[in-house]
Structure 1
Amino acid sequence: MNSKVRVGLVYGGRSGEHEVSLQTALAVLKAFDYGKYELIPFYITKTGQWRSGPKLEAPPAAIAELRFEPEPDAIDAPSDAMLPVVRGMSELAPADGEAQRPIDVMFPLLHGTFGEDGTIQGLFEMANLPYVGAGVLASAVGMDKAFMKTMFAQAGLPQVGYRFFTRFQWEKEREALLANIEASLKYPCFVKPANLGSSVGISKARNREELADAVSTALRYDRKVIVEEFVDAREIEVSVLGNDEPRASVPGEIVSSNDFYDYNAKYIDGKSAMVIPAEIDPDAAAAVREMAVKAFRAIDGSGLCRADFFMRRSDGRLFINEVNTMPGFTPFSMYPLLWQESGVSYRELLDTLIELAIERHGERQKLDYGG
């Protein structure tokens, strides 16, 4: 009898972080223990088509192998037709001579919109499938920086000053919003789309003209914009792992190659540095780890997240910046590297995340839904 755990890996997706997701998927597939797991890949194209590949017997060698050109009998369904397909995941399992078995747990490796914003998590919930990572609410709040900040404020976590508004408000109240930002946050300030990852669409504004241009840039990516106060600070990050009893890794520090940690500094120029562990005193390290767990609980997190902080250079004060519920997950990404420094290997991390997903799903099965 086959006792391997059957894991469905979902990657690609419609967001601007499609290629980052493919890099993550390749790294994860290379790290899994193929003696312990059966891996079924599911690729979502940039236009939202779902394609499934055969059960993997060994890790793929290159990203090109993950895209699966459509075959006559392959699934090539639009995303809005996927619920019945996901409900019947056992039908997607390859015919390899053994009895067809359902997927035991889904592992979404999707970054950004339509991946870590609660949408695919809702699909898995409707299909009653265990899945790795944050649930619907935590994923949605973790993606929407405005609501995230509201939850952090409710939890008493310190934050830099900020304002947020919608496209409608910008079009109707532009001058009033500009005046309010100038009076309350001053220059320079940072402007971000409220719902987007990987630092896409972020600008630093030093005057009114740059501020208006930055808002226009952010509105290309989302209907809601966040404007944040600038602080001269170090960027400290902590990895969190768990469900009801989350634990925090050692802190690390990002030393950006640019004026701030934008998409280019993250993924393109290769000059930003990660300092692990961060060179901060033990009291500060303990404080930031405690705040990371508090932030995780503030959004009702589960599975994993990376919590990002500012440490003001003038006095060492900590401010929560944001949490990322599906952080970069290659072996060279901050999240797994922080756990490696904390004594948890990349493979152990994958094992733990799958265990946490199954544990959370088991807890939900105890609920009475009135059926």
Structure 2
Amino acid sequence: MAINRHNAPSMGLTFAPGSTDAVLVKLFGVTVRHGYYSQSDGFCPDLSVAPTPTSAELMSKFGMALRQERFGFSIFIQKQRIKELQAYLLETALRGPSGTLEFWERLTFSMQLQNPDFINITQLPLTVKIDQSNLYASNHQAHLDGPLALLSPGPYVDGDAFYDVIGRSITLRLPPRTKRVLVTDIAGRVVLPQPGADEIAIYAAGSGDEETRWDWAQIDLTDLPFDQYTICILDAQDNSINAGKYPWTVLYNAPKANTLLLLDMLFTQPTPASQGVYPLPPMFGAPAAAAVSTAYVLPFDARHTFWQYYIVSQGSRGALRDLHINGRGTAFTRQPAPVLLPNGALAIVFMADTALPLSQHPTQVFQLTGQRSDARGHENTIRISRLPVAAATPVWPSLTQQYPSGISEIYVYV
């Protein structure tokens, strides 16, 4: 069947201009930086992220999207939903002690390790067990460093950010003068016992006086979102008891073996006096309509270890003398006595006087000089212009406090 193009009805396509309100805008982004990663300009690929279940629901409610990136993640929201989010923050605001509104609504993320050597290369306690302790960070603690907001009180996330991780149910050991047990959230609001519920029961454990006896209580966090909480104990006069680990700040987090960090990101300044850096403007007056796309950095420092060189003669009957290690960055002190290695060889040990940073691409250059005589008495000059450098693993914890950040052992056969 032929079509008469001259008689066919004309058909035209029209395009309505797109709505700018439906465009996704970045609410904030978090980039992980680490001093170890010299080959990637400090950008760290070692952490993945997932919102906690409560935060995933809130993100779904307001059409937010999470984009996992190689060195961090970003949160996006439709431009038209920002006003809705701000209205929600007003609806859910708390009343502070002075009667002013407080805005503690937030997104919480669990960050998991993708690199099993992360603790080794990071300036964190070597003996930490991440199934028992996790790091905590929040934009409530953030501070500006030029155009970036660091998610740490200082220049890096350090060992002070570790908190005990607890499960949904925990038994507390209490001093006998304890009359009440409370659990508070990061806003200082009592979340256990819940409003209208009975007080948390306290049980006596054995006999003894108040100096030697401890009582106990059981708390259940099942109905609470994963986050940071503080367990407080009070006496008969409702005064806080500072005994043992109390007040005890803990992390209630998903039980995953590779979880390292819990991250709280508040939407806006919670109180007029709060420090920190937030993606939405303050809401103590009329809320502004625009979001502030905030660039956050989660910063880690490279571990600084004490490098320990073991200089070993390749011939069992050879003798080493007049050995010296020279170079920039630190001096090396020869230890007074040689060390017997498991294979029966003797090693002359040099220990760095100061700790040196581990690096993906080390730049330290140290030279070894000295003399080696073989079994026949022949003398050979030792001159190594570039000694091997410390590897990322293993790093050995020190048995004393003299080398708190760990020891990197390096073996050199001459």
Give the TM-score, by structure 2 length.
0.22
Give the TM-score, by structure 1 length.
0.24
Q: Name whichever structure is richer in strand by fraction.
A: 2
Q: Which has the higher contact order (CA 8 A, sep 6+)?
A: 2
Which one has the largest radius of gyration? 2
